[in-house]
Copies of this chain bind each other. A is one copy, B any other.
Amino acid sequence: MRDELDAKTLIDTMGQAARTAAAELAFAPAPRKRAALIAAAEAVAARQDEILAANAEDMIFGRDKGLSPAMLDRLRLDETRLRGIVEGLRAVAEQHDPVGEVIAEWDRPTGLHIQRVRTPLGVIGVIYESRPNVTADAGALCLKAGNAVILRGGSESFHSSRAIHACMVAGLKAADLPEAAIQLVPTRDRAAVAAMLRAVAHIDVIVPRGGKGLVGLVQAEARVPVFAHLEGICHIYADADADLEKARRVVVNAKTRRTGICGAMECLLIDRAFYAKHGAVLIEDLIAKGVEMRVSADLAHIPGTKPAAEEDFGREFLDMICAAKLVDGVDGAIAHIRRYGSSHTESILTENDATAARFFERLDSAILMRNASTQFADGGEFGMGAEIGIATGKLHARGPVGAEQLTSFKYLVRGDGTIRA
């Protein structure tokens, strides 16, 4: 109880400071925000030894805590990774500034001129796990869009995040922007997360960055709106009218290029008519690449496959494992995806325009593709700049969430003593 009260007081205080900073950031000129990000990049480069020393502390803590090798790897910083953070900050600095952009404008017969203009969202809360780079990446993107941000990193990366956060604050100071524009929750206490999720008065949007456990908890508990996806259960459907060579290329890339990202294919749906024409070639290609294929009963005779359990459909493996199933044409694929999909990304392989149109029209995933690898589901690949994540909700931000998606808008209406009849 004591902790909860303390956490609420802490988040209220940080939230008020963030709100004040946000009011100022809303009209901070683009060059000032750019300068802050460049100065932050310089600070990270200059304080490399300090950051690596802080990270070493976290690594000791992590090993003592018995973190898995995968988690320790996510936590670990080295010169290459720090260079990545510096480059990331510089890239966001050079991105287009969305604030103040006129999204639409028109005239009315009354003489009014109406503009819809991009504004910041306000205050964004970012809750993440062990990767310390999120401190810089998320902080930078929120600032670019004129938002104040409250960062809450994982307890494992406490010292690393603090050291990187200090560089972000140095950047803000150098550009004469309010320090409270980028705040880091200064405690490992988990009650702070709960307080953030309920801080509707102070935080406009929560963005969770991490695994299914974290995202699921945030989605279930938050009173503040959340931009996120719970899982990326991406499907590829190989239609009867697919071009075989394109299909083989895309399927292997979608599964094996990187298995741990949310855009990786987790289930291959094969049209019976495709199978009749081309046989098991797609499955054989994946097996040859080392993928464990968990297949429906009618594919189980293919050498090297394993029978799929019911729960292998709609499952995010994030590994060299893939489910596969025969379906009856595009409608069979659509029915399967509606039932098992996570509204993230699906791709159809076909040369038939009508079939592709049906797939595009009848599915409502955030991203639908044709003859392209699902691994392209990424803000950078979309040309939208850095992203804070991919969202699968229906409201506001969907698909890659970049600087533009971290904005709202307002209407500016100009008259000349214009009154309503």
A residues lining the B interface (CB < 8 Å): 23, 26-27, 106, 108, 110, 112, 114, 119, 121-122, 204-205, 225, 243, 245-247, 249-250, 253-254, 257, 338, 360-362, 364-373, 375-376, 381-383, 394-396, 398-399, 408-420
Contacts and interface: CB of A to CB of B under 8 A. Distances in A.
A98 to B, nearest CB: 13
A370 B417 CA distance: 8
Given A376-B110, A383-B114, A370 B411 contact: no
Contact of A370 (B246, B366, B371, B414): B414
Contacts of A338: 23
5 contacts: A108-B382, A110-B381, A225-B225, A370-B415, A375-B419
Number of copies of this protein chain within its complex:
2
Given A119-B364, A395-B225, A114 B382 contact: yes
A326 B398 CA distance: 45
A379 to B, nearest CB: 11
Given A250-B418, A411-B368, A394 B362 contact: no
Given A27-B361, A27-B362, A225-B225, 11 more contacts: A26-B361, A106-B383, A121-B394, A246-B416, A247-B417, A368-B412, A369-B415, A370-B413, A373-B418, A376-B420, A398-B409
A413 B367 contact: yes
A415 B372 contact: yes
Contacts of A27: 361-362
Nearest to A245: B417
Given A368-B413, A419-B373, A420-B257, A383 B250 contact: no
A381 B112 CA distance: 9
B382 A122 contact: no
A274 to B, nearest CB: 15
A416 B371 contact: yes
A253 B395 contact: no
A410 B367 CA distance: 6
A412 B417 CA distance: 44
Contacts of A396: 395-396
A392 to B, nearest CB: 10
A264 to B, nearest CB: 11
B361 A418 contact: no
Given A26-B364, A394-B121, A410-B364, A375 B420 contact: yes
A402 B383 CA distance: 30
B417 A249 contact: yes
